[in-house]
Amino acid sequence: MNVLFNLIVVVQVLSALAIIGLVLVQHGKGADMGAAFGSGASGSLFGASGSSNFLSKSTAVAAAIFFASTLALAYFGTNRPHAAPSGGVMDRVTLPAAPKAPSAGDAVPATAPAAAPAVPAAPSTQDVPAAPAPAPAK
């Protein structure tokens, strides 16, 4: 199954590159105006009866292959056997358990720390630097 999926991806990428190349090689509709006034033959591969040339037909074939491979990838993407029933990745995510806040009826655990001081100790005055002396008046 995985090999088929990879093969379809390769076909899709190659057809996309072919479409890009073929569209860039083609000339626009305005380039055939000279052929309409008799200054030369148009670049049609299949003669005057065919209104499209080889490049436009090749582009149409590459586009059909691209759309078919896109539909195949969409089918394989939605019908994977190992996918969750709802198909979402987020359904398989496990969340870490949030810590439970203690309630009023909970007992204090046996490993509770000793009673902590309610007020931190005031800093001693020896650690506080003295205020700078006022500047003398002039």
Domain coverage including residue 75? 1-28+53-80
Residue 122 pLDDT > 90: no
Residue 13 lies in a domain: yes
Highest mean pLDDT, choosing among 24-33, 35-44, 66-75, 100-109: 66-75
Q: Report how far residue 20's alpha carbon sits from residue 14's, in angstroms, rounded to the nearest whole number.
A: 10
Q: In the chain, how many domains are there?
A: 1
- Least confident range of 10-19, 59-68, 106-115: 106-115
Residue 66 belongs to a domain: yes
How large a percentage of the chain has pLDDT more than 90?
Answer: 27
Average the pLDDT over 62-84 and give the result: 84
Residue 22 lies in a domain: yes
Q: Could you tell me if 50 and 10 are in contact, meaning their C-beta atoms sit under 8 angstroms apart?
A: no
Report yes or no on whether pTM surpasses 0.75: no
Structural domain contains residue 86: no
Residue 26: the pLDDT is 87
Between 77 and 41, the higher pLDDT residue: 77
Q: Is residue 74 one of the residues assigned to a domain?
A: yes
